[in-house]
Amino acid sequence: MASDKVKTFTDSNFDEETKQGVVLVDFWAEWCGPCRRIAPIVDQLATEYDGRAKIGKMNVDENPNVPTSRFHVRGIPTLVVLKDGELVDTIVGLVPKEDIVSAIEKHLG
Amino acid sequence: MTTAAHGADREVVIIGSGPAGLTAALYAARANLRPLLIEGLEAGGQLMLTTMVENWPGFRDGIMGPDLMTEMRLQAERFGTEVVQGNVTAVDVRKRPFTITLEDGRTITTAALIIATGASARWLDIGSDRKLSGRGVSTCATCDGYFFRGKPIAVVGGGDSAMEEAVYLTKFASKVTVIHRRDTLRASKIMQDKAFKNPKIDFIWDSEVIDVADLEKGEVTSLVLRNIKTGETSHLAVDGVFIAIGHTPNTSLFKGQVELDASGYIVTGDGTRTNIPGVFAAGDVQDHVYRQAVTAAGSGCMAAIDAERYLEGLPSVDETTDLASNATV
């Protein structure tokens, strides 16, 4: 899978990486079973939206600040869509790929 | 190929990828039926939400649920099962061959169908719980317990899974309050003992959750409880609430086509047969009694064998042009 197109967001690079354009962030952790089901979809989206939207993952274990303090994540998988740094959509739990696609499409110009 | 599949794309399609679906796939593949298995949204089933499974025979030290499901899937694929990711959006078993529509719009026809769509966690049916899902309300302790380190939380329910979640959550939470509608637990003795002797677990009996606050803040701050015997309401301050009040079968695709019981489970008889010849059901979608991984796997095996016998009894395509009227065992 083309997972090299998937960005890795961290507490330190988050603001810089997400300040422009449409960004999808997948909050996940190793121990989260359902996150493993979202992962291949996120991989596909990274290829499909290459150059149009930034698709990335953020490990909640390794990044204590952005997921819980800023986005109040209390369960994973949680996906958020940002536009120019602003939160515009939140998807909680397992959803079909189409739902994620439409959340991204809605905010692409 | 068309002849082998009785005029359909496939001889057998399996919907669902938990222990029932994957075992059906394993047996169907070994019977050279080249099964197609459609994973569904909650791929891997309920065991993907568990940690250590201690009652799967053959693993005396237990095995992690997600690891067990990975092994089952690889084993089914090794014998020729084709696995398709994604969800089924429609099923038509009123005409033969049966038609299955996937979320990307693709359709597949099949001579036999094995339904192994399982069951999903029930919610409280009060509205506010779903709205605060991922904001402090959860149906999966292993997924979300981590976010409640040092915080007070509640578990709703009185069965085995509620006790398992409560005990598991004491690893993170400062205190776990179990809220149950009755004054005794439904859980097995061994799970009750584990919960009762855990100093971090308290119980509120005879009570139900009638509201989850705070919708405006977008996070859980407290629960409104009602005592069923006295009618009194009270508040319980918690940062999170885990709901473990059972499951509902995933049968909405089959409503009006396959016979369901009053609770929505598929009715099976004579093995795994449904009221439609050629449609079989296995696992939690047809079982509200045992609901174990091993019983689901067992019924998946039965469904594959039942489907194989059904297919053997079908006339081959060149013998008849009218499959619909002759497709009975």
Supply B105's token pair. Answer: 């719009």
- Per-residue pLDDT averaged across A3-28, rounded? 93
**Predicted local confidence at residue B279, as pLDDT:** 98
Provide the shortest C-alpha distance from residue A68 to chain B (in Å): 8
Residues 6+ apart with CB under 8 A from B315: B323, B326
Say what the ipTM of the complex is.
Answer: 0.72
Residues of chain A contacting residue B146, judged by C-beta atoms under 8 Å apart: 29, 31, 60-61
C-alpha to C-alpha distance for A60 and A10, rounded to whole angstroms: 9
Residues of chain B contacting residue A95, judged by C-beta atoms under 8 Å apart: 41
pTM confidence score: 0.79
Q: Which helix (H) or strand (E) holds B248?
A: strand B247-249
**Predicted local confidence at residue B48, as pLDDT:** 85
Q: Which residue has the tokens 């990335």?
A: A56
Amino acid present at B201? I
B23 in Cβ contact with B304 (< 8 Å): yes
Active-site position among B92, B140, B211, B214:
B140
A32 and chain B: CB distance < 8 Å anywhere? yes
3 state SS of B47: helix
In this structure, the number of other CB atoms found within 10 A of the CB of residue B139 comes to: 23
A36 and chain B: CB distance < 8 Å anywhere? yes
3 state SS of A73: coil
pLDDT tens-place string over residues B268-301:
999 999 999 999 999 999 998 898 999 999 999 9
**Predicted local confidence at residue B318, as pLDDT:** 52
Q: Read off the DSSP letter of residue A77.
A: S
**Predicted local confidence at residue A86, as pLDDT:** 95
Contact: B42, A93; criterion CB under 8 Å:
no
CB-side neighbour CA atoms (13 Å) of B251: 24
Q: Taking Cα atoms as reference points, which of B13, B90, B109, B39 lies closest to residue B304?
A: B13
C-alpha to C-alpha distance for B217 and B215, rounded to whole angstroms: 6
- Name which of B48, B147, B218 is nearest A75 (Cβ-Cβ): B147
Contact: A74, B44; criterion CB under 8 Å:
no
Residues of chain A contacting residue B148, judged by C-beta atoms under 8 Å apart: 74
* φ, ψ dihedrals at A97, nearest 5°: -55, -40
Residues of chain B contacting residue A92, judged by C-beta atoms under 8 Å apart: 133-135
Which residue in chain A has the smallest CA separation from B87? A96
Provide the shortest C-alpha distance from residue A99 to chain B (in Å): 11
Among B68, B140, B151, B243, the residue to mutate for chain A (most A Cβ within 10 A): B140
**Predicted local confidence at residue A2, as pLDDT:** 45
Contact: A74, B41; criterion CB under 8 Å:
no
Q: Taking Cα atoms as reference points, which of B119, B204, B221, B209 lies closest to residue B161?
A: B119
**Predicted local confidence at residue B6, as pLDDT:** 84
Provide the shortest C-alpha distance from residue B41 to chain A (in Å): 6
Rg of chain A in Å (alpha carbons):
12
Q: Which residue has the tokens 């988050």?
A: A14
A60 and chain B: CB distance < 8 Å anywhere? yes
Supply A30's token pair. Answer: 């190793």
Q: Could you tell me where the beta strands, DSSP code E, fall in B35-193?
A: 36-38, 52-53, 63-64, 82-84, 88-92, 98-102, 107-115, 119-121, 137-138, 152-156, 175-179
Residue ranges of chain B with per-residue pLDDT less than 70? 1-4, 316-329
Q: Which helix (H) or strand (E) holds B209?
A: strand B207-213
Q: B225 vs A31, which has greater pLDDT?
A: B225
Measured between alpha carbons, how far apart are the two ends of chain A, in Å?
A: 28
